[in-house]
Amino acid sequence: MKLLFLGASNTDCGHCFSEDNLGYGYVKMVHDLLLQKAQKDCPSEMSLSSSDSSVQIKADHSGTPGNLPKGICTSTVIINGGTDGFTFPRILRRWEQSWKRTAFDAVFILGGINEVGALMDSGMDETSHRVLLQRSAVALSALLSGLSASGCPQIFVLEPFLFDTPQYLKSWMGTLEEVRGMIRQTVASVLPASGKLAQEITVPLFRDFARIRVYLASAPRYGQVTYNYQRISFLNFPVLMSPSFRENDSEKTQLVASTPGTGKAMEHTGTYSYGVKNEGAQLTVYEAPLTAEGEIDYVAMEARLYEQFVVPQYLAPYIPESNSWQKKQNHPKIQLTLDYFTGGDESQTKTRTFLLDVGEETSPGVYSGPIYPNRDYKVFIVLPESSDKEIIYRVEPWNSKEVDLPPFQ
């Protein structure tokens, strides 16, 4: 059996200067417990050997009083890989440099205390505080994923701790809990709650995620108010960890500006905002078609593809009642920015921005509901006749299909 202990000073515990290379902390305690067990199982057939940062316990079982038959030899190698002052990025680097290609039966990780010290002692601002935690979370996630991929059957992640003396350490407890929370969240995202390691985490990619088309037109007759499109943004849309998909979609026009290139890095689960900005020639928003009764003709508007935009197609379902992490997220929205002027006087150009919900209709004209994975959505935006008028806006299902999706929790 081969055991590796990774961490900082509370793993290190002076192991480079101790007689048996394990230090004077919990690694030494684990060693002593295993040694006691070996001595009990085979009291007369024991041997110990030491090398840099490691100790080997070797027992040749005589058949009394342990559980193994006579003649069976067991060996336990214990390695103290702790280093005083290390944070998770440096713990990861040391594992990669020293033990990445070594198979272990169990790995113990005790880190985070130097993150606490850095956050308390450096006087860093809020942004630097957040960046430090993010970098440590990424490093811990990479370490856990690497150990899992190497086939390590058992990984134990221990949370950092502090004593309440000296007195000043009491003021560190809030930051300690913050670092512990980061560790718990990172471990939960990499290792299943069952405790069984996932050698590979797969997120299924479907051609059935919701798509959103936006159709843009202008209500006033030409010459009364002229709208020029500047940018459209899709805000707070959830995505899953995934590269490009829908690559085999038969409607190639739907892929324009919506499918990442083949070299695009994988995106992480969370909410993202996408924007399409006009940096070329001026794009005038055309008049909306009308029915014989003078109402907006949405069928004709769709057929003529009035200023159509397609949201990036790695859009994940927004169903907060089913996905607890989404309950704290802002609702997906479209933000539309335009320049406009009246009476043909371009020198009086002004800018106006609209912010509109996208989702199922929750009440007449209000679209603050979920975005279901088994539907595509069409968004019709008709710009008002004057700045004091309301925008004409509606969302309706574009297409429905059968979708077999796993839980998104």
Give the per-residue pLDDT at 146. Answer: 84
Please give the tally of structural domains in the chain: 2
Q: Encoding tokens for residue 96?
A: 């990669």
Pair 22, 166 in one domain:
yes
Q: Encoding tokens for residue 51?
A: 């090398």
CB 156 within 8 A of CB 108: yes
CB 358 within 8 A of CB 334: yes
Pair 358, 222 in one domain:
yes
Only one residue has tokens 């190497």, namely 150
pLDDT per position as a tens digit, 256-265: 433 444 443 3
CB 61 within 8 A of CB 45: yes
pLDDT per position as a tens digit, 114-124: 999 988 877 78
Q: Which ranges in 44-105 belong to alpha helices (H)?
A: 88-98
Domain span holding position 106? 2-190
Confidence of residue 242 (pLDDT cuts 50, 70, 90): very low
Can you give the pTM of this predicted structure?
A: 0.47
Compare 387 and 365 and report the one with higher pLDDT: 365
Q: Which of 91-105, 241-255, 389-403 has the lowest mean pLDDT?
A: 241-255
**Strand-pair category, 2-7 with 73-82:** parallel
pLDDT per position as a tens digit, 186-238: 886 665 544 444 333 333 333 446 778 888 888 877 668 888 888 888 788 77
- Rounded distance between C-alpha atoms, residue 336 and residue 29, angstroms: 63
Q: What percent of the chain has pLDDT over 90?
A: 15
Only one residue has tokens 């009035």, namely 306
Q: Encoding tokens for residue 191?
A: 């290792």
Pair 165, 35 in one domain:
yes
- In a domain, residue 231? The reply is yes
C-alpha Rg value of the chain to the nearest Å:
31
Pair 86, 185 in one domain:
yes
CB 193 within 8 A of CB 207: no
> For the purposes of burial, counting CB atoms within 10 Å of the CB of 347, is it exposed (0-12), middle (13-18) or buried (19 or more)?
exposed
Pair 176, 228 in one domain:
no
Q: How many CB atoms lie within 10 A of CB 10?
A: 21
Confidence of residue 108 (pLDDT cuts 50, 70, 90): very high
Pair 176, 279 in one domain:
no
**Among 277, 268, 333, 48, which Cα is nearest to 138's?**
268
Q: Encoding tokens for residue 342?
A: 């009246």
- Rounded distance between C-alpha atoms, residue 363 and residue 320, angstroms: 18
Give kind and range of the element (H or E) at residue 29. helix 26-41
pLDDT per position as a tens digit, 136-172: 988 898 898 888 878 888 899 999 988 877 888 888 8
Pair 159, 253 in one domain:
no
3-class secondary-structure state, position 183: helix
- In a domain, residue 334? The reply is yes
Pair 216, 284 in one domain:
yes
Q: Hey, what amino acid is at 351?
A: T
Q: What is the CATH number of the domain that holds 330?
A: 2.60.40
- Rounded distance between C-alpha atoms, residue 355 and residue 380, angstroms: 14
Q: Average pLDDT, stretch 345-366?
A: 89
Q: Which ranges in 226-292 belong to alpha helices (H)?
A: none
Pair 177, 304 in one domain:
no
Q: How many CB atoms lie within 10 A of CB 238?
A: 22
Q: What is the CATH number of the domain that holds 48?
A: 3.40.50.1110
Q: Is the pLDDT of residue 54 over 80?
A: no
Confidence of residue 310 (pLDDT cuts 50, 70, 90): low
CB 147 within 8 A of CB 155: yes
- Rounded distance between C-alpha atoms, residue 274 and residue 295, angstroms: 32
Pair 178, 244 in one domain:
no
- Rounded distance between C-alpha atoms, residue 49 and residue 31, angstroms: 13
Q: How far is CA 111 from CA 86, 175, 189, in A?
A: 8, 14, 17
Q: Is the pLDDT of residue 408 over 60?
A: no
Only one residue has tokens 């479907």, namely 206
